[in-house]
Amino acid sequence: MNIPFLKFDKMHNDVHSQLYQAFDDVIKSHWFVMGKKLSQFEDEYASFSTTKFCIGVANGLDALILSLKALGIHDGDEVIVPSNTYIASWLAVSAVGATPIPVEPNINTYNINPSLIEAKITSRTKAIMPVHLYGQACEMDEIISIAKKHNLFVVEDNAQSQGAMCKNKITGSFGNINATSFYPGKNLGALGDAGGITTNEEQLFEKVKLLRNYGSKEKYYNLEKGMNSRLDELQAALLSVKLPKLIEWNSERNKIAEKYTEQLQNIGDVKLPQLAKNCTSVFHLYVIRTLKRNELQEHLNKLGIGTLIHYPVPPHLQNAFQELNYKKGDFPIAETIAETALSIPIYPGLTDEEIIYITNSIKKFY
Ligand SMILES: *Cc1c(COP(=O)(O)O)cnc(C)c1O
């Protein structure tokens, strides 16, 4: 059997003719940037997120950078980030001149451990950036109350968890301003790069609208030194087609995760992902851990099963962050995850037969 790590077939078949229709609409409209398709998608995604506002931008990294800029975070400031996130969260902080301050995750949920945050807060700390990693919502009650107590902003990195809940409230609606990515492989993916920002604060909404479009409201009059980070009409139209299917696709991912969790109990030293109390996951990824990770990956590869490692090198050990002078051993939980994590296939359309083939192949290895 040949099972790639990710397949779009089922999702794209579900909406095939609507995607072509959207393309046709855009080409016939003769309007490709900052038009009706964008504002329509922004309204729809704001409504999905239960926030007052959504601003479409070029990608998830820009969404994070623009969110931090809108809050006025700059040189000399500090932002609390998880030690085990995708590097984009850290890059956004350094892009505005601030310093990422890592906090270790809970080894079972893989999400930032709220009880370790306060020890890292200093007079320079301006914000906490929880990352809902692999699809699971962070423990937002704890994070929001720490932020309130210390007068800090919260910026959610919601790139991997569109639709996840914490105490029945959706991710992307907790922070002052929140970023997401519609990179093709995310749960809601465009057919190219795309990103979005959600907020309930009108002032931040207005600021980001300026910043994503050259700092301009009226063409050729520039109020701020903005960037060009617009979500184009075609990607917005395609996202509008896919958004109504997201809940169904997420629940299909959940069913696959349940089957994995059922089949993979007590196999060798395999650790399965766990959910924090009151938090749900949309299973962007299903990440298991084992000390024999590389050998297991090799074994599955030989049997035709695609897997990936999220992520092989934690941000503090990346060349890109040399200037922070971290060394191996500084964030042992992030390092353990990097050494032991393996993501197995999970996507709408993965069949029961394929799930059993994958879990049997893992059992065979042990
Ligand atoms: C994908 C991702 C991003 C960045 O999104 P892009 O659209 O690729 O720029 C940021 N944070 C996390 C956690 C991500 O997974």
What is the Å distance from ligand 1's center to 195 Cα? 9
Per-residue confidence (pLDDT) for residue 23, from 0 to 100: 98
CATH class held by domain 9-244: alpha beta
109 CB less than 6 Å from ligand 1?
A: no
Burial 165-189 (b: 16+ CB within 10 A, else e): bbeeebbbbbbbbbbbbbbeebbbb
Atom of ligand 1 nearest to the CA of 182: 7
The token duo for 52 is 């007052």
170, 141 in Cβ contact below 8 A?
A: no
Q: What are the DSSP calls for 179-191, one per residue?
A: EEE--TTSSS--S
The token duo for 116 is 């370790």
CB atoms within 10 A of CB 288: 21
Atom of ligand 1 nearest to the CA of 88: 10
Q: Which residues contact 177 (CB under 8 A, 6 or more apart)?
A: 67, 70, 71, 153, 155, 197, 198, 199, 201, 204, 208
Domains 9-244 and 246-365 share a fold: no
What is the Å distance from ligand 1's center to 55 Cα? 16
Rounded Cα distance between 316 and 233, Å, is 37
Per-residue confidence (pLDDT) for residue 282, from 0 to 100: 98
Q: Which residues of the chain have pLDDT under 50?
A: none
What is the Å distance from ligand 1's center to 85 Cα? 10
Show me where the domains of the chain are located.
9-244, 246-365
Per-residue confidence (pLDDT) for residue 300, from 0 to 100: 98
What is the Å distance from ligand 1's center to 360 Cα? 32
Per-residue confidence (pLDDT) for residue 311, from 0 to 100: 97
What pTM, to 2 d.p., does this model score? Answer: 0.98
What CATH superfamily classification does 246-365 receive?
A: Aspartate Aminotransferase, domain 1 (3.90.1150.10)
Q: Identify the residue whose C-alpha is closest to ligand 1 atom 12.
A: 159
Preceding omega of 347 cis (within 30 degrees of 0)? no
Atom of ligand 1 nearest to the CA of 181: 7
